[in-house]
Amino acid sequence: MGWIGVDLDGTLAEYHGFIAPTTIGPPVRRMVERVQQLLHNGVEVRIFTARIDPEGLRKYRERTGDHNATVEVVKAAIVEWSRAHIGRELLVTDRKDLDLIRIWDDQAVQVVRNTGDLIG
């Protein structure tokens, strides 16, 4: 059936500027409820976020000296956030694959398939 990727910052969690890779804002209640409904209906949902991009984390560590900011540590913080606010652990990824059917994101622009036409 595939999975839906839901962005973390500004979509699932409030985002008012970057603080640290493991600092996640409070939940956006409407999106959390949508995700919970999808899960209840048997749809796989994954948190789709650039926070676990290895290159981005490397640059962050170089800039700040925070060598604790690893993919594993950041991913664990996001999983804990999902457990606390969604009620279960969600997979966390920064990658698309062939089973991805939809992305919900506050920064994305939808394009009509095979046309290059923008929606909205």
User: What is the per-residue pLDDT for 1?
Assistant: 82
User: What is the per-residue pLDDT for 117?
Assistant: 93
User: What is the per-residue pLDDT for 3?
Assistant: 98
Domain locations in the chain as residue ranges: 3-104
Give the Cα separation of 39 and 50 in Å (integer): 22
Question: In CATH terms, is domain 3-104 a member of 3.30.70.60?
Answer: no
Q: What is the pTM of this model?
A: 0.91
Q: How many helices (H) and strands (E) does the chain have?
A: 3, 4
Non-local (6+) Cβ contacts of 73 within 8 A are: 21, 22
Mean pLDDT by 10 residues, the chain (120 residues): 96 95 97 98 97 94 91 97 98 97 93 90
Let me know: does 76 contact 35? Beta carbons within 8 Å. no
**β strands within 16-99, DSSP E:** 44-48, 91-93
